[in-house]
Amino acid sequence: MKSTYLDDNIPSTPGKFKMEKSNYYHRLRWHPHLAKVTFWSVVFFGLIFVFLFNSSTISTDLSHKSLKIKSWGGPGWEKRVKSSAKIRSETETGYSVLVTGAAGFIGSHVSTALKRRGDGVLGLDNFNDYYDPTLKRARQVLLEKRGIFIVEGDINDTVLLNKLFEVVHFTHVMHLAAQAGVRYAMQNPKSYIHSNIAGFVNVLEICKNANPQPAIVWASSSSVYGLNTKVPFSEKDRTDQPASLYAATKKAGEEIAHTYNHIYGLSLTGLRFFTVYGPWGRPDKAYFFFTKDILKRKPIPVFESGNHGTVARDFTYIDDIVKGCLGALDTTEKSTGSGGKKKGDAQFRIFNLGNTSPVPVSDLVSILEKLLKVKAKRRVMKLPRNGDVPFTHANISLAQREFGYKPTTDLQTGLKKFVRWYEKYYGSGKKSDH
């Protein structure tokens, strides 16, 4: 019966099918057909396998993507977002602030300071690996302990940003997310366009459409002064000679911000930071990697400009910068537009936030030598033409006038605090391969 059944199901040329033959013969007779069937079955099942394998890869990819999408959203996530952004003391001055770049150096400090005084703070950061992401994760843990949730996502993610503004009516945005670093632009120029231009425009688009529109304070940079030689740098000075792509994107950001202020009534305040340093700082900055290399007895490059000129920076301690950021935030006026329409002129400001006392980089090394009790192996060399400028010096009178900005930490004091943190964090050498 079985064979008949099988036979009945064999799609063959009827003429070759001899029912009257013995079973044995029959089997023999059918062997070539079976071989064919087996062959086509293998091909058939093979194709199914390939299809399933591919589709499983696709579905893995999709699930990966959807996992990514699912890394935010849902009632539990919304609850965390709301609770982090909730103003603690329901005073009239309480803000609800979206801090982009919250896992970064300045962002983590500013978020903490805002939260400490009772403002609601929600962080946003993509935790990219421009420098050791474990440092960003460690900052995240610290912020979590203080009740600050950092949403993991990119400022270019319109859907995510819209969702955040749907869940929370932010009064302010402290926009600090950016591709930082001057020299890295020669390796990865597109990352500067992605974060500092496209990402910034996306943030502005979302803010412009929000109802109510938040006031925005964002990070520009002293690098916009580029090759200027007139010092100290004043906000009125020209900023059309950038020396790096980083500087050019920061300058572009200022121009873009102006158009959003002009067309949509967004209140915008740009802060030109001057070489910020301190605990939880950035490993790509000279004070940070000098410390690491001095401790490892490795040579460090100490640059000089043409004709053995001094390379100096207006190093600004993180606590002073935080005060400046909060001062700027507290003096913002409301945006005037709503739902993408301007209703009146809005505030547009740019401030230098520096320390007003440039220090030669060789002095920075001497201070570190004393604090670390190790003699540095200095390699004096000419400043390469890769984006760094020889000198920065801030005129801060505008910020002083507007919100009483007054830096109080000198380099010696600030570096002492940095070194103390560094030794505690990297301590026994466990994490020293950062």
- Give the contacts of 95 (CB within 8 A, at least 6 positions apart): 87, 114, 119, 120, 171, 172, 329
Map tokens 């020669």 to a residue: 186
Q: How far is the CB of 107 from ligand NAD (least distance, A)?
A: 5
Q: Which of 246, 260, 277, 422 is catalytic?
A: 246
Q: Indicate which single residue of 81, 97, 98, 103 sits in contact with ligand NAD (rule: CB under 6 A).
A: 103
Long-range contacts of 191-197 (CB under 8 A, 24+ apart): 191/128, 191/130, 192/245, 192/246, 192/249, 193/249, 194/156, 195/155, 195/156, 196/246, 196/249, 196/250, 196/252, 196/253, 197/249, 197/252, 197/253, 197/256
Q: Indicate which single residue of 120, 123, 199, 214 sits in contact with ligand NAD (rule: CB under 6 A).
A: 199
110 binds ligand NAD (CB under 6 A): no
Q: How far is the CB of 76 from ligand NAD (least distance, A)?
A: 22
289 binds ligand NAD (CB under 6 A): no
* Euclidean distance between CA atoms 397 and 157, whole angstroms: 38
Please count the residues of this chain forming the interface with ligand NAD, following the rule CB under 6 A.
Answer: 27
Q: How far is CA 355 from CA 131, 274, 352, in A?
A: 26, 8, 9
Q: In the annotation, is 130 catalytic?
A: no
Identify whether the C-beta of residue 104 lies closer than 8 Å to the C-beta of residue 125: yes
- Give the contacts of 35 (CB within 8 A, at least 6 positions apart): none
Q: Name which of residues 115 to 154 contact ligand NAD (CB under 6 A).
A: 125-128, 136, 154
Q: Which stretch binds ligand NAD (CB under 6 A): 87-95, 270-278, 336-344, 408-416?
A: 270-278
Q: Which stretch binds ligand NAD (CB under 6 A): 40-48, 72-80, 85-93, 170-178?
A: 170-178
177 binds ligand NAD (CB under 6 A): yes
SS3 249: helix
Q: Which stretch binds ligand NAD (CB under 6 A): 112-120, 172-180, 306-314, 335-343?
A: 172-180
CA 340 to chain centre: 26
Q: How far is the CB of 133 from ligand NAD (least distance, A)?
A: 8
221 binds ligand NAD (CB under 6 A): yes
Nearest Cα to Cα of residue 270 among 285, 260, 282, 284: 260
Nearer to ligand NAD, 128 or 400 (CB): 128
326 binds ligand NAD (CB under 6 A): no
Q: Indicate which single residue of 81, 104, 352, 405 sits in contact with ligand NAD (rule: CB under 6 A).
A: 104
Residues forming contacts to ligand NAD in the complex (CB under 6 A) are 101, 103-107, 125-128, 136, 154-156, 176-180, 195, 199, 219, 221, 273, 275-276, 282
Residues forming the active site: 246
